[in-house]
Structure 1
Amino acid sequence: MRLLGRWLLLSLAALLVLQLFFIGRIAAMALLDPQSTSFQRSEAWRLASSGQLRWRQDWRDYDQIADHLKRAVIAAEDDGFVTHEGVDWEAIDKAWERNTQAEQVAAERAAQNRPARPLRILGGSTITQQLAKNLLLSGERTLLRKGQELVLAYALEHLLSKRRILEIYLNSVEWGEGVFGAEAAARHYFKKSAAELNAWESARLAVMLPRPRYFEKLPRSRYLNHRTNTIVRYMRQVELP
């Protein structure tokens, strides 16, 4: 029992140290731009291992990124960004319901020996949660990792401003194979700076975010075009931090 108690104490101490490390990293980001994220480092390793390392990323301050892109990303990814505290529980509930319905449909089609449609899992994650995951965590899908993501999302919201969270997100998010951040994406797809993006170009980039490498290979996707037009109409109503 003593040995078990010591292991528990050591585990709790290690967990506390890890949380303090994460919080220290986040607090530093109030003043310092992050050089890379956990996700970027794992992608760099993957690309280097395959012998095709291609990397584009150029940091741009908040005011050097078009407001069109900010509005489009919020409209497409997290329309409650300016009001929530890091986690949108209503969006998570809706995603859970839609995933459950999709799984039921897939099971019914399988029982009828009908071809299964691709099952897209919706997460309901906010921009803050996505940033927490990409900055500091691995890409594994476990309850423990999801719990840590929620803790870090609340830490981000309390230690950084909404404006700073959006700035870091737009500079670090993936927009294609080895393409990270708004400036690299604007140059890669439209041969212009992130400050020069118009509403349609911004909406198109925003729609790519859930599956950037997939849409990079399908520039004429009907879904991509339809969703882009929808976001262009909706983004006019978006409030910026």
Structure 2
Amino acid sequence: MKQLKKLLVGVLCAPVLAFASGEAVHLDRAPSEKFRDALAIQRGAQVFVNYCLNCHSASYMRYNRLKDVGLTEDQIKDNLLFTADKVGETMKVAMTRDDAKAWFGAAPPDLTVVARSRASGDGSGADWLYTYLRTFYRDENRPTGWNNVAFSNVGMPHVLYELQGEQTARHVKVSDGHGGEKEIIELELSKPGKLSKAEYDSLVGDLVAYLVYMGEPGAEKRRQTGLIVILGLSVLLVLSYLLKREFWKDVH
């Protein structure tokens, strides 16, 4: 039971990849074109419900907001509504926060605004999430058997490992370009998963797109409204200029 508790405690639910160790981690750029792709957000919502919502809530996000990205109420009920009874409810997990603390020692964090909270000077929150979800590797020294390049000594296991496969890490020293050396972590896919690397990266991109959308569901509508307002003001500027010319043409 103790091992199970350790396994479930978390903070977030091929080619060689190299990352710096002991300094700022290089963040891979998330596929931002997916952030405005309704189908990508829909797929990401399904991944979130199937793999993340078991432990992590999104208590400020209502299921019916997914109608804004093209899902019908029936589609939401049939494919996403596993922990609630009505589409107007928020994405909460079945267990209470007190139970989570009692069973696991710490309650898994709410993920509603995780994409915004992870933003930093080194990159956007989306870039951090995209890197994090792709850089788990086996580490027998950790209680869960997993570690992560972007989040060293992470407490959660790799919940998507069946899809990605298992990666192993090698710590190697390379030149830092200034006459010294630095240590990097090289990741290699030692055991393939159900998806190819390209397929897994695309799935993670969809999930990140949904997490970005969830943090600010009205962002796209606000952007569209802003463009309409700017267009309207531009037309008004032209009309105002023409009116001014007409009004002052006989003054001289």
TM-score by length of 2: 0.25
Larger radius of gyration between Structure 1 and Structure 2: 2
**Counting strand residues as a fraction of each chain, which structure ranks higher?**
2
**Counting helix residues as a fraction of each chain, which structure ranks higher?**
1
TM-score by length of 1: 0.26
